[in-house]
Structure 1
Amino acid sequence: MVLKQILKILLVTSSIWFCLTISATAQQVQDKSANAKVLRNSKVIKEIPRLSEIELTNTNAQQLLVQSPAPPNTPTPEVVQVTAVKANPTTKGVEVILQTTKGEQLQVTNRSTGNNFIADIPNAQLRLPNGDGFTFRSEKPLGGITEITVTNFDGNTIRVIVMGEALVPIVELYDSPNEGLIFSVASTAPTQQAQPQTQQPQTQQPENQTQPTQPSASGDEPIELVVTGEQDGYNSSDASTATKTDTPLRDIPQSIQVIPRQVIEDQNAVRLTDIVRNVSGVALSQTAGDRAEIYTIRGFDANVYKNGFLDSGEASRGFRDSANIERVEVLKGPASVLFGRLEPSGIINLVTKKPLAEPYYNLSFTVGSYSFYRPTLDFSSPLTQDGKLGYRLNIAYENSGSFRDFVHKERFFVAPVLSWKIGDKTNLTLEGEYLHTENPYDDGLYLIGGTIIPNIPISRNLNDPRSRFVIDQSKTYLTLNHEFNQNLSLRTAFRVTTASETQNRFSLRGFAASNDGTVDLTSTAYNQYFETYFLQNDLTAKFKTGSINHTLLFGVELGKLYGRFLYNLADAGSSNIFNPVYNFSYGPYRRFVDRAQNSDSFGVYLQDQIGVFDNLKLLVGGRFDTYYQETPNFLNASTTVTDNDAFSPRVGVVYQPTKEISLFANYSRSFVPMSGSSKNGDAFVPERGTGYEVGIKGDFLNGRLSSTLALYTVTKTNVSTEDPSDRNFQIQVGEQRARGIELDIAGEILSGWKVIASYAYTDAEVTQDNTYPVGNALRGIPRHSGSLWTTYTFQKGILEGFGFGGGIFAATEAYGEIDNLYTVPGYVRTDAVIFYKKDRLRASVNFKNLFDVKSFDGSTGGVVDPADPFTVQGTISWEL
């Protein structure tokens, strides 16, 4: 322990030295204009100059267009940050402003095709206060214009698309030193064309040219469309989970999928289980008596994170609520390099909603089958006139019955957020969560000889109708983001959680039924209490070595966990799956668990994202972790100690032969601490995971549709198995392996037609063991699984605003346990939705499991968890 403490002190001391060194280096490479005021979208700017009021530095769009790429030896220019996207009406149409103080550095390449004006702005990136890379979209802003979008096409390019309905749009570009780059879009509606105007006829323009028009002022009050982090599509351009920096997905050498808010709303996904079913390779392993979700990714158990903090085990109890989830990011493969102790599966990271720049008030109410009622509210607004202080509040209440006998559920969830912009370069966010839930303990359906009895209804519940468990938990996050300059930034985040879980004496637990259907039951009454404390510090520095770009991340994480466990056990007689009885007699209780748990973790990591060329990027990183845990057992006055450390590297490469295609490969490792020792007294070492992955990412249809195809193999070693010389002990010679192919697609095929789909082939098996036969499949892993969800919204005419959609979710059978004695059947489930969205009103009806297919949400110990049968849920929401 003394050695560990000395190591921690040395590492913390070296980190301080490293921060000072990087700060000095970054200051040297800081742009000379860093003292210039950079506009930030911290408050709504109501007065924006019209085009006629701006002194134009370029009066012809051709002067801004790039005809050919720069010479090979030209130094890589600075990536200009666009801090806001705004739109104002003019007498002829609308002006779209990409707000930046360095607009004179921007150039534009015309990639127009057909009726679409497409402009790429290299060496530029959207950097917005409420989420980098989120798409600005304005549907039908003008006559003859279907849509205007502005998005990050890749890490160094912004793409502007103006979609013409029948004719090529008329677009003129301007460069304003005060506002940035301005796209003036004129209406091409036939009624407006017929009016006398001082503009040239609308004809198809040649490559790298746009049609000039004469700007004029408008007497209308200006309107503003601000990008606030909300998305209305299925396709996301970037994610922070894989690198802890805002990196475009196409530049990440690892498979990562993002489920945005729009998918969650369209599917009316209340539980995380319904969200992640859209991602390849993710499976629900079990529900722990209908108490929580336990997932697998690529064959191994997966942890859930929230805003980059561990949200599984001691850190979170019960089912997670979707009310405050903005998006879900699923990173696949070993991820210990940034997140510490993990199985080699990956993580599911939940990104929560943050305060918006403009007032937003949404009330929603859902009613459904089995007496399901769920009102929610989502409010956000600046609290001060200058917009520097803002809030967001999400509240959800749920009261429901179930298709299962004697099951009634109630939960209350509230999540307030305060965001304070202390200065131009400093933001402080305080975020809280509180969850109260009351459920009966529900073991599921019992098996006979590893077989699901077909004539037993899925509603049958052998538990005492008085069964109940109660969860109360709170989470508090405090995050400080500070930019020292444009090259150096610091994120410091602290999170504390508390949770209590209590189960009453009427909650019964059994095991597999005997041949005549008898199930012996026990009553388990318990109390559990948890506390966790985590502190993260991430320093990000951007600099160059010659012509090579670097984004260097240096991080330190400290964690402390505490748990207290009291379990009492009593015999509760028996029941029968064919003829259940509910008149239980409880025997005397005996204490069989009385222990505590104290854990301390420390991790330090370094990562470098290297831009060798514009189309060749490297990712190199490593992390060193120490983990120490004491588990005192008060029943026998003993203490178990776990003292592990591990180094976890990651190396990845991305090569982009074209703007639309990214080829990637990576190697990474993970670790999980292990307690105990072998027969000769040697302490167990951590389990280790090793992953290799290659794949291809593609962007199609002008960036509206993205896909990822990945091929991987993951191996876990140091798995504990029986000691052949003495079965009372174990040795760490076991090995398990998973390999497979995954495909994910998401985006918009045509205007109004959105799709998200996945497929996974997973071969997960035991490759070395003394307990289980080599070749046995790992538990709960279907060999084939996939999903397809699509919606269409009518864009015009009498049906404008109406939409419909549907999806198929399927999986083949999976073994219920690693001994492979029984299987959980496969399934094909069909969902559907019809909806209407007009102005502030949105109404929808979701049909889940449309054909009432019998399926199961995992299993454990000879019991399977039946999934919901056919259900209907109707939702109506109103924005105030």
Structure 2
Amino acid sequence: MSVATNPTVASALVGADDPVRRGWLTGKVSDAAGKPVEGVTVALKGTSFGTSTTADGSFRLSAQAGAYQLVVSSIGYITQEVPVAVTGGESTPVPAFTLAVSNQNLSEVTVTGAKSLNQRAVTVGKLPVATLDLPQSAVTVEREVLEQQQVLRLSDALVNVSGLYVTSTTGGTQEELGSRGFAYGSNNTFKNGVRFNNGVMPEASSLERMEVLKGSAAILYGNVAAGGVLNLVTKKPQFEKGGSVGLRVGSFGLWKPIFDVYGGVGKSEKVAFRLNGTYENANSFRDQVESNRVYVNPSVLFELTPKTTLILEGDYLRDNRTPDFGVGAIDYNVLESRTRFLNVPGAKNATTQTSSTATLTSRLNDKWQIRAVGGFQRYDNEQRTGNRPSTIRNGVIPGSPATATRPAIPERYKESLYGNWARTLSRTETSENYYLAQLDLTGKVRTGFLEHTVLVGADADQYNTQALTFTAQPYDSINVFDRSRVLAQPTNSVSSFDALYRNTRTFTNTRRAGFYVQDLMSISEKVKLLAGVRWSYQETPSDVYTYAAPTAADQSLKVTQQNRRFDNAFSPRLGLVYQPIKTTSLFASYANSFQPNTGQDVTGVALPPSTFDQYEVGIKNDLFHGLLSANVTAYQIVNSNLAQTYLGPITDANGKTTDNLNTNIKELAGEVTSKGVEVDVQSKPMMGWTFITGYSYNHTAYTKSNIYENNSRLRYNPAHTANFSLYYNFGSSFGDNSFLRGLTAGVTSYYVGDKLAGRNTRLYDPATGKPFVDASKNPSGDAFRLISIPDYVLFDASLGYTYDRFSVRVKLANILDELSYNMHDDNSVNPIAPRNFSATASYRF
């Protein structure tokens, strides 16, 4: 059975995981004979605070200061409930519990004190209010869901959030995400509220939860894309001692041991730690592709005073894998295959990422809190790879009859050039230091009849990046369909990456700063108004140094290009929330964001940033006493001053007027519009059942352009996505002695609608100054065409079994063995994984 919980607990200014004003409850549990009982669940009703008794029957539970109901429950015993009070900075003993045996054949008792989707505060939103009060769509995915679904990569977790999808997996070394028609770059991806470089796949085993704040977040973070932001929250220190060890194995040689340990330092009630990590080694369903990684995530919590805490967090990731640009395409026709590998021998992508974060939180009084964050990240990457397979031949040998484009392989391709491809070697080395400082003041104040929840903050960050490129050189020639064929080798070919010589070294030093203020005004119990604005400043200087060729007489390194950009912008936000009842809110909002541009206008002046106007309306519901949350959002995002190539006349220094052929000369005259609908539904456990479902529709298109067709869709964005996950815990229906008591089962499905890759059809070619009458017969002979990526449905099933401290989970993924692709242009055509399995065994201590 489930212990019912009351979701209404005394409200706190900060989220449940915030250690400010934390105290402890201590006690002991024994049976009727006076013997200690181990493994008894001790939890605070209506919260996520809970623990279990140790071998001597004792427990120590950490929670925020406040009044609660303490629930003590265990299989085969009558559940007990008593009122308790937690005092900040102190340990409070509670009377000893004596468990009475139940006469009923009880199933496992589970305390479900988790908050609903709309009751949780999203830390990436900075303002300490429940999402029900925010005029913006937000979704969180908790650790329990991630573990149930055996999430290995972030792409596995997308099945829980409507409208969040993979845009591409360029080179197979990263997963590029997007929503609402816009890509999430490193500017939109955060870990514990600090930006991190998403050029490497983050480690999912360390996550406590995943937060998605949809739509504009420019007022909080400045230069972020319009679609939303993603925040990965890692596991935090705990004073209760415990941990787990596990091993995950799976298809394609996956082998992944995992550990997690936490507790107080010694007998201290002021210092706690956590350390988790993993090693991973795997092959792939792709020929010759392999990977290995090491990850460690330490953190320490200091209770400096009853009102002040300091959390130090760090992580280290070393990720080595084979760069893989997919199966290739000929003239925008995908060469269907799941296993064809086209990269050169010895290709590798090696990344090391180290980060550290210090978060100091102090409660000034019962209504005001200050939070300071300092962060540092080091990112190093070396890639040695062949060229992307986008220039594979589709013609025939000289003297053969002329042929049109061939979407299929000719029967006698061995006598033709069809499928021949000249490969080159290339090499890059990138290093980046990132620094962040952030200060936020939040609190509540009343002016007359208005109650204000206020956020005032400032931040500054800096990227120091150094990128070294080597001159690409010819390597060999192959036929992609028959690798045994011997083809004439290119002239001046090299035999190894070490033979490449340095070409350019680019230094960039991006500096940003921002000041922001937000106020959520409660006009009445039913009406709330959110208003705020941010001012952002950004400098983007860069210097490009070019190395002399090895044969040059002058071997000095010279500056060949210097760029200096200075941008600033205001980002306002306005939203209205109406709550006809406490569990339902209707909202409407407007927000503005910006995106810096490169290039200059026709007068030679640097282009100002483009701006995005975002409109959003929606309804949020907590139904059936908070057991079910159902939210619907509609939005429109318009970039009405999109930077596009200037096609008008220009006058040179001699007064001669010609058509512009310089693509660096632009005008802010284009327009892109994104509009859509999103539905998110999540449940709490109900009689053993839990489910998550959602749907999204998006149409992102050029609505004004001098190069592309109006209303032509932007690439990489699926028109529709849908998700559904259903899990059942057999422990809610079967007795204590039943074998099925520890069994769970679930299914997950994820639909990705059709999307486009390739290159948008052009009406005008700025490189030639001539219109494209027919995109397939343009003057330059270089057609621009789109590739339609087929829709697909992923269907997964899983089983889990827990006995005492041991648990086993088994998952079968892509049961239908669907085939589709993630693409970038036409040169990184990466198939999705076929049917595969994984199994995880773990022991909790």
Q: TM-score, normalised by structure 1?
A: 0.76
Q: Cα RMSD between the aligned structures?
A: 3.5
Aligned twin of 1:307: 192
Provide Cα deviations, 1:401-428, integer angstroms capped at 9, x if missing partner.
0011111101000010011000101101
Hey, what does 2:750 align to over in structure 1? 809
Q: Per the alignment, do residues 580 and 769 of structure 1 end up closer, same or farther by CA in structure 2, a change over 3 Å counting? A: farther
Greater RCO (Cα-Cα under 8 Å, separation 6 or more)? 2
Instruction: Look up the match of 1:492.
Output: 372
Q: Which runs of 5+ in 1 are unaligned?
A: 1-30, 32-37, 49-80, 90-94, 104-125, 127-134, 149-170, 194-224
Paired AA for residue 842 in structure 2? S
Partner of 2:474: 571
Look up the SS of the partner of 1:460 in the other structure: coil
Partner of 1:745: 681
| Candidates 343, 356, 367, aligned match of 1:463 | 343
Instruction: Tell me whether 1:762 sits opposite 2:707 in the alignment.
Output: no
- Choose from 627, 638, 650 the match for 2:561: 638
Alignment partners' CA distance in 2, 1:364 and 1:342? 37
| Structure 2 residue 823 is matched with structure 1 residue 864 | no
| 1:514 and 2:514 aligned | no
Contact 2:332 2:758 in 1 (8 A): no
Separation in 1, partners of 2:615, 2:451? 26
- Which of 856, 862, 874 is 2:839 aligned to? 874
Contact 2:683–2:691 at 8 Å: present in 1 too?
Answer: yes
* Residue number in structure 2 paired with 1:284: 166
Residues 729-740 of structure 1 mapped to structure 2, 5 A cutoff: 729-740=665-676
Q: Post-superposition shift, 1:318?
A: 0.9
Alignment correspondent of 1:723: 646
Following superposition of structure 1 onto structure 2, how do residues 101-116 of structure 1 map, counting pairs within 5 Å? Answer: none
Query: Does the 8 A contact of 2:167 with 2:823 survive in 1?
Result: yes
Instruction: Name the counterpart of 1:247.
Output: 129
Q: Does 1:655 align with 2:578?
A: yes
Question: In the alignment, which residue of structure 2 is the partner of 1:222?
Answer: none
Cα distance, 1:82–1:400 mapped onto 2, change above 3 Å: closer
Q: Distance in 1 between matches of 2:350 and 2:300?
A: 29
Q: Select the residue among 580, 591, 597 that pairs with 2:483.
A: 580
> Whole-Å Cα distance in 2 between the matches of residues 753 and 432 of structure 1?
36
CA distance 1:431–1:790, shift in 2 (3 Å): same
Q: What secondary structure does 2:205 align onto?
A: coil
Pairing 1:259-408 to 2, within 5 Å after superposition? 259-302=141-184, 303-311=188-196, 315-408=197-290
- Map Cα deviations across residues 32-63 of structure 1 (whole Å, 9 max, x no partner): xxxxxx99444453379xxxxxxxxxxxxxxx
**Contact residue 51 and residue 60 of structure 2 kept, 8 A:** yes
- Give the share of equivalent positions with the same residue, in percent: 28
**Cα distance change, pair 392–671 in 1 and its aligned pair in 2 (3 A):** same
- Count of residues in Structure 1 that have an aligned counterpart in Structure 2: 715
Match of 2:295 in 1: 413
Q: Which residue of 1 aligns with 2:533?
A: 622
The equivalent of 2:778 in structure 1 is none
Measured against aligned partners, the alpha-carbon deviations of 1:161-197 in whole angstroms (never above 9, x if no partner) come to xxxxxxxxxx897999998999x9998955699xxxx
- The 2-side partners of 1:665 and 1:276 are apart by 26
Higher alpha-carbon deviation: 630-639 or 428-437: 630-639
SS of alignment partner, residue 463 of structure 1: coil
Distance 2:153 2:671 in 1: 33
Secondary structure of the structure 1 residue equivalent to 2:156: helix
**How far did 1:98 drift?**
12
Q: Is the 8 A contact 1:42 1:357 kept in 2?
A: no
Give the 3-state SS of the residue equivalent to 1:765 in structure 2: strand
Q: Quick one: distance in 1 between partners of 2:51 and 2:756?
A: 56
Tell me, in whole angstroms, the C-alpha distance in 2 between the residues paired with 1:276 and 1:383: 36
2:355–2:376 Cα contact (<8 Å) kept: yes
Compared CA separation, residues 343 and 173, structure 1 to 2 (3 A): closer
Separation in structure 2 between the aligned mates of residue 39 and residue 605 of structure 1, nearest angstrom: 24
8 A contact 1:567–1:591 mirrored in 2: yes
The residue type equivalent to 2:372 in the other structure is T
Residues 396 and 39 of structure 1: CA distance in aligned 2, closer, same or farther (over 3 Å): closer
Q: CA deviation at 1:680?
A: 1.5
User: Secondary structure, in 3 states, of the residue corresponding to 1:607?
Assistant: strand
- Which of 694, 697, 708 is residue 772 of structure 1 equivalent to? 708
SS at 2:541 equivalent = strand
* Structure 1 Cα separation of the partners of residues 573 and 234 of structure 2: 27
Alignment CA distance shift 1:786-1:100 (3 Å): closer
CA 1:580–1:730: 2 relative to 1, 3 Å? farther
Change (3 A) 1:440 1:99: closer
- Deviation, 1:582, is 9.8
The equivalent of 1:18 in structure 2 is none
Tell me whether 724-733 or 392-401 shows the greater mean CA deviation: 724-733
Give the Cα–Cα distance (whole angstroms) in 2 for the partners of residues 402 and 88 of structure 1: 40
Query: CA-to-partner distance for each residue in 1:94-128, whole Å, 9 max, x for gaps?
Result: x999989876xxxxxxxxxxxxxxxxxxxxxx9xx
- CA separation of 1:97 and 1:364: change in aligned 2, threshold 3 A: closer
C-alpha change, 1:173 and 1:603, in structure 2 (3 Å) is: closer
1:45 is the counterpart of 2:26: yes
Partner Cα separation in structure 2 for residue 576 and residue 192 of structure 1: 69
Distance 1:509 1:860, change over 3 A: same
Asked if residue 844 in structure 1 is aligned to residue 809 in structure 2, the reply is yes
Change in CA separation of 1:187 and 1:706 when aligned onto 2, cut-off 3 Å: farther
Q: 1:174 to 1:385 in 2, by over 3 A?
A: closer
Identify if the C-alpha distance between structure 1 residues 41 and 694 changes in structure 2 by more than 3 Å, giving closer, same or farther.
same
**Residue equivalent to 1:167:** none
- TM-score under structure 2 normalisation? 0.79
Q: Deviations over 1:632-664 (max 9, x none)?
A: 111252211121100001111221111221111
CA contact (8 A) 1:239 1:249 kept: yes
Match in the other structure for 1:34: none
Give, as a single letter, the amino acid of the residue that structure 2 aligns with 1:46. Answer: G
Do the aligned residues in 2 keep the contact of 1:685 with 1:718 (CA within 8 Å)? Answer: no
**Partner amino acid, structure 1, of 2:26:** I
Q: Which one-letter code corresponds to 2:362 in the other structure?
A: H
| Conserved? CA contact 1:642–1:673, under 8 Å | no
Partner of 2:606: 683
Q: Cα gap change, 1:253/1:648 in structure 2, threshold over 3 Å: closer, same or farther?
A: same
Q: Is the 8 A contact 1:509 1:523 kept in 2?
A: no
Kept after mapping to 1: 8 A contact 2:23/2:86: no
CA deviations on 1:126-157 (whole Å, 9 max, x unpaired) are: 9xxxxxxxx99877667676xx9xxxxxxxxx
Q: Distance in 1 between matches of 2:51 and 2:507?
A: 58
Give the distance between the partners of 1:580 and 1:279, measured in 2 at CA.
42
Letter matched to residue 167 of structure 2: S
1:383-416 Cα offsets, whole Å, 9 max, x none, are: 0424210101111100000011111101000010
Contact 1:173 1:181 in 2 (8 A): no
CA distance in structure 2 between the aligned counterparts of 1:664 and 1:844, rounded to whole angstroms: 41
- Alpha-carbon shift at residue 581 of structure 1 (Å): 5.5
State the Cα distance separating 1:518 from its structure 2 match: 2.7
The letter for the 2-side match of 1:599 is T
Quote how far apart the aligned CAs of 1:623 are.
0.5
1:706 to 622, 629, 633: 629
1:203 is matched with none
Shift of 1:752: 1.6
The one-letter code sitting in structure 1 at the alignment partner of 2:368 is L
Of 442, 445, 449, which residue of structure 1 is paired with 2:327? 445
| Equivalent in the alignment of 1:238 | 120
Match of 1:546 among 441, 444, 448: 448
1:675 shift after superposition: 2.5
Q: How far apart, CA to CA, are the structure 1 residues paired with 2:210 and 2:102? A: 40
